[in-house]
């Protein structure tokens, strides 16, 4: 049996691939910090051994490292590879259905995985979350010729700034949207368009690009690129689907999923039936229960467009109920570059609470202009109820500000979801 070792295995992408490789017969182990992650439960359930990052790497056939860490120094016979490279190798013989975009790609990928399995097709999938309701794991090998991949536009590694999705060639591609994000990698909108256009133009003549034609940059690429593949457009004006989840963004993601399933041969009728089986994924409008009349929700959204869509979905689905948002911004560089957009989106909440900014490993030692004080001041221009929090006072402050009937929503790509453990003690 071949052995694979994952450095930074608790990351959602690392976990998803580790589980898929375990399905395929690999013996899998890894290393990471002692900090709790949303992937802990499934890794423990699958019996995957995790050691400290400082422990020696065991004798294995393949070493895979997360983009959060530099490539380890190893003997030449054990050349480590990045997560992006390992994923590309794993799906090289599959018909890849890739889902890319700044928002909605995890939900759309999870929807597709659920749809195929509900329809009785053992399609493999790689989804960047800790869990998918109704499925055993967020990663699966599968026996079907098709394999669903959440395609990430971020850099392959600390030394290779090509997008992770540059290593795959999709047979079917969904782009949920195209937005300038990751300013530490993409300095401007044009560089973002170059990355996505390279992915789109790799689709073969027998393939399909599915895009939201109400998204300005997607439409710009559609009009400007010379393509050999089939194109299918969707938007919010299409008839609404019968779903088990709420919100306009979920409607859009479901429209794309139905089109992608049909592109692989699934009938329209079966696709419409199967999409109803999707009831959610970890950290995507995830319901954490009701405590003393407060409804607890968590969402991974960390870009202004995602925040705006999610808050409006909650306000529409829960009319008349106050939304208390606890937001943890992910990376100083993103917060600085998109500050005004963040402020306007966060201010949609009835009561916005701002956590300290999450400093990623790639930003350690880099000077920042943005501070928690300047961030809260920007939000307060649009909503005078805005308050800053610390990790020490967040749970108590938010709870004392809430009333029965309120929605308490945590948002962000860091660890803000852990506050729900405090709320559940109330």
Going residue by residue through the chain (426 aa), what tens digit of pLDDT does each one get?
Answer: 999 999 999 999 999 999 999 999 999 999 999 999 999 999 999 999 999 999 999 999 999 999 888 888 776 667 899 999 999 999 999 999 999 998 899 999 999 999 999 999 999 999 999 999 999 999 999 999 999 999 999 999 988 999 999 999 999 999 999 998 888 889 999 999 999 999 999 999 999 999 999 999 999 999 999 999 999 999 999 999 999 999 999 999 999 999 999 999 999 999 999 999 999 999 999 999 999 999 999 999 999 999 999 999 999 999 999 999 999 999 999 999 999 999 999 999 999 999 999 987 777 778 888 988 999 999 999 999 999 999 999 999 999 999 999 999 999 999 999 999 999 987
Please report the pLDDT score of residue 183 as a whole number.
Answer: 87
Q: What is the pLDDT of residue 73?
A: 77
Q: Is pTM beyond 0.85 here?
A: yes
Write the CA distances from 204 to 315, 408, 423, integer angstroms. 42, 45, 50
Q: Residue 80 has what pLDDT?
A: 93
Contact 169, 88 (CB under 8 A): no
Which residues, 6+ apart, have CB-to-CB distance to 231 below 8 Å?
208, 209, 210, 211, 222
Is 122:27 a contact under the CB 8 Å cutoff? no
Under CATH, to which class is 286-423 assigned? alpha beta
Q: What is the CATH number of domain 3-81?
A: 3.40.50.720
Among the listed residues 288, 24, 276, the one whose alpha carbon sits nearest the alpha carbon of residue 139: 24
Closest by Cα among 325, 305, 321, 323 to 379: 325
pLDDT for the residue numbered 184? 86
Nearest to 14 by CA among 73, 90, 72, 77: 90
Name the CA dihedral angle for 69, 71, 75, 80, rounded to a multiple of 10 degrees: 100
CATH number of 91-277: 3.40.1190.10
Of residues 89, 127, 124, the one with CA closest to residue 12:
127
Ramachandran assignment for 331, one of left (phi > 0), alpha (psi -120 to 50 degrees), beta (any other): left
Q: Quick one: pLDDT at residue 426?
A: 74
Q: What does each C-alpha distance from 415 to 37, 239, 275, 395, 411 come to in angstroms?
A: 8, 37, 30, 13, 9
**Measured on CA atoms in the order 241, 245, 251, 254, is the torsion positive or negative?**
negative
**Residue 365: per-residue pLDDT:** 75
pLDDT, position 425: 87
Using DSSP bridges, classify how beta strands 3-7 and 62-65 pair: parallel, antiparallel or unpaired: parallel
pLDDT tens digit string along 93-136?
999 999 999 889 999 999 999 999 999 999 999 999 999 999 99
**pLDDT at site 372:** 85
- pLDDT tens for 369-421 read 898 899 999 999 999 999 999 999 999 999 999 999 999 999 999 999 999 99
Instruction: Give residue limits of the domains in the chain.
Output: 3-81, 91-277, 286-423
């Amino acid at each position: 049996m071949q052995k694979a070792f994952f450095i930074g295995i608790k990351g959602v992408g690392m976990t998803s691939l580790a589980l898929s490789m375990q399905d395929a017969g690999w013996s899998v182990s890894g290393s990471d910090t002692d900090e709790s992650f949303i992937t802990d439960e499934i890794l423990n359930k699958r019996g995957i051994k995790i050691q400290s990052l400082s422990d020696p790497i065991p004798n294995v056939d393949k070493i895979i490292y997360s983009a959060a860490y530099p490539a380890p120094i190893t003997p030449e016979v054990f050349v480590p590879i990045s997560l992006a490279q390992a994923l590309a190798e794993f799906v090289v013989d599959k018909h890849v259905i890739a889902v890319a975009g700044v928002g909605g790609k995890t939900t759309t990928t999870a929807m597709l995985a659920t749809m195929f399995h509900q329809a009785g097709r053992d399609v493999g999938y790689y989804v960047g979350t800790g869990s998918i309701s109704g499925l055993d794991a967020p990663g699966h090998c599968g026996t079907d010729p098709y394999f669903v991949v959440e395609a990430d536009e971020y850099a392959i590694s600390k030394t290779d700034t090509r997008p992770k999705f540059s290593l795959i060639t999709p047979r079917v591609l969904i782009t949920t949207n195209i937005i300038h994000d990751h300013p530490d990698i993409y300095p401007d909108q044009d560089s973002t368009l170059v990355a996505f256009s390279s992915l789109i133009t790799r689709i073969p003549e027998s393939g399909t690009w599915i895009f939201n034609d109400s998204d300005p940059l997607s439409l710009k690429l559609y009009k400007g690129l010379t393509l050999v593949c089939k194109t299918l457009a969707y938007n919010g004006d299409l008839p609404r689907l019968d779903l088990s989840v709420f919100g306009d963004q979920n409607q859009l993601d479901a429209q794309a999923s139905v089109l992608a399933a049909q592109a692989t041969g699934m009938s329209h009728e079966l696709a419409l039936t199967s999409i109803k089986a999707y009831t959610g994924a970890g950290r995507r409008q995830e319901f954490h229960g009701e405590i003393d009349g407060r409804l607890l929700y968590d969402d991974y959204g960390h870009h202004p467009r995602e925040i705006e869509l999610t808050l409006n979905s909650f306000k529409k689905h829960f009319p008349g109920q106050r939304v208390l948002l606890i937001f943890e911004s992910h990376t100083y560089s993103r917060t600085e570059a998109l500050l005004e957009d963040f402020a306007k989106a966060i201010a949609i909440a009835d009561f916005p609470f701002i956590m300290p900014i999450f400093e990623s490993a790639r930003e350690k030692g880099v000077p920042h202009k943005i501070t928690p004080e300047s961030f809260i001041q920007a939000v307060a221009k649009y909503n005078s109820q805005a308050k800053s929090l610390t990790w020490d006072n967040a749970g108590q402050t938010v709870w004392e500000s809430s009333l029965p009937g309120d929605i308490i929503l945590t948002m962000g790509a860091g660890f803000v979801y852990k506050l729900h453990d405090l709320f559940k003690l109330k």
